[in-house]
Amino acid sequence: MEQGHKSAPTILEMQSITKEFPGVKALDNVSLTVRASEIHAICGENGAGKSTLMKVLSGVYPFGTYDGDIVYEGQVVRFRDIKQSEAAGIVIIHQELALIPELSITENIFLGNEPGRGGVIDWVDAQRRATELLARVGLDDDPDTQVKNIGVGKQQLVEIAKALNKNVKLLILDEPTAALNENDSQHLLDLILGLKGKGISSIMISHKLNEIEQIADEITIIRDGRSIETLDVKADGVDEDRIIRGMVGRTLGNRFPEHTAEIGEVFFEVRDWTVQHPLTAERLVVKNSSFTVRRGEVVGFAGLMGAGRTELAMSIFGRSYGKFISGQVFKDGKEIKLRTVSEAIDHGIAYVSEDRKALGLNLLDTIKRSIVSAKLRKISRGDVVDKIQEAQISEQYRKSLRIKTPTVEEGVTKLSGGNQQKVVLAKWMFTDPDLLILDEPTRGIDVGAKAEIYGIIRDLAAQGKGIIMISSELPELLGVSDRIYTIFEGKITNELPVAQADPETLMRSMTSTSQKVVTS
């Protein structure tokens, strides 16, 4: 802990906060203290109550819907909505981003706070300021670009820029680096440290414990809706294992499941796959890419943000992204056509999207309906869904994936981000695929749940299924994969058996167009 940190004035006290939803006590007598110019981390498993606590603080859950007091800058505050908390200098960036896809980056940054006079927006000034803000967060895209045309990682950076435009005193970041690669994550962490140097306090929720350990001054651990302890990172000698023990109430063993892979023959092959950007005809997002998947094998795909991993996966899954130019797909030695999502599903292919909110779930559905939605005919006679089977199957997945909810009749919007991801995984497991494409499957999921997901992946591989796993976390790819491809600028640049792979080798292949393929 830095000298004098403990003597810094308190900017925030949350005293005995209790918040209930029907059938669930999300927060039970939770307390939190944050000092000025402090980076305070909040850690806990999915469903522990972290995001709920921050929604109480920011007015998303207004005064009157919770018990307890919020003392901010020495005064009891009673925010009725998020506008009031922002006016006081508290800005929250949610895990599920709050951007309008059809508007430009500039319009999103200044939405509701547009520069100008007399009701006339000064767009020249707005663009100039947007360019400056984007530079601060390391994003060099044209500020006129529509948000829907940039990836989820870049959208996170736009949210950070949007927050920096406000007169922020206390910045709340809910999983800010979840969708970012290592370089962009480090840039953002440095940015948060820079804000601290300018007197801005931050509250950071993250499952990336190495990042918490790197920048946090104090960590408050929440478990099952209760505040368990607050740790002084440097004075208490906090490391990742100590944080995990507080989060889960036990010591986790090896985070990646030990296994002996029983890998069969090649059953899925993509040859010379080329895809054009959906809006820019001269831009190829996937370039002559070829790869194979064997039965019982977990194949990792590594690449920096914008490298083309997601574009490759989505375009294969029923041409869900971009304009198909050329290429072939073979399954069990026979060429198959995957022109629509329905055709892909019928050929035993499933895709778990990195963006669960926009692409993975119908947010109006219940958990029960979401789990069976990708293949209703499995539990239907004619056009009639068997409601008993629907309930039984969804309950089985609720238990096996440990989805934290009192009932599968709940709406998916009531789940934490990690539990929503488990519902998406259950949905595609229900289709009984031969090939399961997982795009950032553990994004926003706590360490305990990650271990469960890794176990599920290994179990599926042991059943003879092929798994493609896209991840921005190199330790995760190295811990789970049997073989790894690297992608740079739409090209596959390397192929390595995991025994020959290490972070440095992968990073070189992720930042170079020279192809150096090692066959397994």
How sure is the predictor about 407, in pLDDT bands with cuts at 50, 70 and 90?
confident
Tens digit of pLDDT for each residue in 246-265? Answer: 876 755 556 787 777 789 99
Q: For 303, list phi and psi in degrees, rounded to 5.
A: 180, 155
For residue 72, the cross-strand partners are 12, 75
Tens digit of pLDDT for each residue in 265-275? Answer: 999 999 999 99
Q: Model's pTM, two decimal places?
A: 0.61
d(CA 159, CA 147): 11
What are the sequence ranges of the domains in the chain?
Answer: 1-89+167-252, 99-166, 258-348+433-520, 358-432
How sure is the predictor about 346, in pLDDT bands with cuts at 50, 70 and 90?
very high
Q: What is the pLDDT of residue 421?
A: 79
d(CA 294, CA 469): 13
Higher pLDDT, residue 80 or 367: 80
How sure is the predictor about 358, in pLDDT bands with cuts at 50, 70 and 90?
low
User: What is residue 356's DSSP assignment?
Assistant: I
Q: What is the pLDDT of residue 3?
A: 45
Tell me the CATH number for domain 258-348+433-520.
3.40.50.300
Q: What amino acid is encoded at 297 in this protein?
A: E
Tokens of residue 234, six digits:
């440097």
d(CA 28, CA 442): 27
For 512, counting Cβ atoms within 10 Å of its Cβ (0-12 exposed, 13-18 middle, 19+ buried), the class is middle
For 180, counting Cβ atoms within 10 Å of its Cβ (0-12 exposed, 13-18 middle, 19+ buried), the class is buried
**What residue has token string 């170079």?**
512
Which of 14-18, 178-182, 261-265 shows the lowest per-residue confidence on average (mean pLDDT)?
A: 178-182
The pLDDT of residue 515 is above 60:
no
Question: Which fold would CATH assign to domain 1-89+167-252?
Answer: Rossmann fold (3.40.50)
Q: What is the pLDDT of residue 202?
A: 96
d(CA 199, CA 453): 39
The pLDDT of residue 448 is above 80:
no
Please measure the distance between the N-terminal and C-terminal CA atoms of the chain and give it in whole angstroms.
47
Q: Which of 129, 136, 175, 133 is nearest to 156 (CA)?
A: 175
Report the SS3 class of residue 407: coil
Could you tell me how far CA 420 lies from the centroid of its own chain? 11
Rg (alpha carbons) of the chain, rounded to whole number: 23
The pLDDT of residue 211 is above 80:
yes
Angle at 161 between CA 356 and CA 32, to 5 degrees: 75
Pairing of strands 90-93, 266-276: unpaired
How sure is the predictor about 130, in pLDDT bands with cuts at 50, 70 and 90?
very high
Could you tell me if 267 and 466 are in contact, meaning their C-beta atoms sit under 8 angstroms apart?
A: yes
Q: For 34, list phi and psi in degrees, rounded to 5.
A: -125, 130
Tens digit of pLDDT for each residue in 288-302? Answer: 999 999 999 999 999
Write the CB contacts of 94 (distance below 8 Å, at least 6 apart in sequence). Answer: 51, 174
* Average per-residue pLDDT for the chain: 86
d(CA 247, CA 329): 44
The pLDDT of residue 12 is above 90:
yes
Assess whether the region 1-89+167-252 and the region 258-348+433-520 belong to the same CATH fold.
yes
Higher pLDDT, residue 38 or 187: 38
Tens digit of pLDDT for each residue in 64-113? Answer: 999 999 999 999 999 999 999 999 999 998 876 789 999 999 999 998 88
How sure is the predictor about 520, in pLDDT bands with cuts at 50, 70 and 90?
very low
The pLDDT of residue 391 is above 80:
yes
